[in-house]
Structure 1
Amino acid sequence: MRVRVKIDVRQPLKKDTKVKNKEGGWSTINFKYEKLGVFCFVCGIMGHAENKCEIRYAMEQDDGRREWSAEIRAELRRQGGRLTSRWLREERGGRDIPAGGDTEAHPNIPAGNSSRGPQGLTWQQ
């Protein structure tokens, strides 16, 4: 399941949360983040890497263990079977063509049925 949320990037990212299921028991939901950018695996805050982390420098000895791992990053989503980037484009006859060869790019839109989204936008599911 994918959910778009607003978060305060000055606070550590949450790795998981507990939710109550239908039977009344508790389940752990692990979070993965898309478009994470520069992220510190020591303190869990975006905007700096481990080599610039104040918490890491305050440690008497760094044993190498980290609260966060690369598993917090979501896998890249494929578009039309190819990994694409909006920065990799070729220009042909005055039009920008994605370098992957697709003539129309739809970021974060899986193939399938059409649905209506917020503000009347339509996307493929």
Structure 2
Amino acid sequence: MKQLLLDALAPAVQEIAIVLIVALVGAITELVRRYTGISIEAKHREALQSALQNGARLLIATAFDRDHAIDYVIASVPDALKALKVDQTDRDRIGTLLQPHVLSQKLAARPAVQIISSPGAGGGGGAKPVMR
């Protein structure tokens, strides 16, 4: 009797096992896809940020104009632009992405100003900016 019951249930148990294995493989595949997709996107984002930073440096340090800096970005990271859905023909958008990097380069190039305390007239202390 036991053998008859086991023989009857064996195909159902096999089907359930197959479904569970397929579901497990699917879940693992999805986790791997999500992880690698996120890491690839991060690499593209880093590459684009680096190209924007370098384009801004070229713009500030050389005779490059805005168009040359945009050309530099497009030529440096075409795959990153495509992956991040930035249209390479939309020069205004790339210029907008470049602008904060240009501003940070300009700010970094400014001489530092330090506030120091110095005795003012009448013996009172005062603070004035001093270039260092």
Query: Normalising by the residue count of structure 2, what TM-score does the alignment of the two structures yield?
Result: 0.22
Which of the two has greater strand per residue? 1
Asked which structure has the greater RCO (Cα within 8 Å, sep 6+), the reply is: 2
Which of the two has greater helix per residue? 2
Rg comparison, structure with higher value? 2
Query: Normalising by the residue count of structure 1, what TM-score does the alignment of the two structures yield?
Result: 0.23
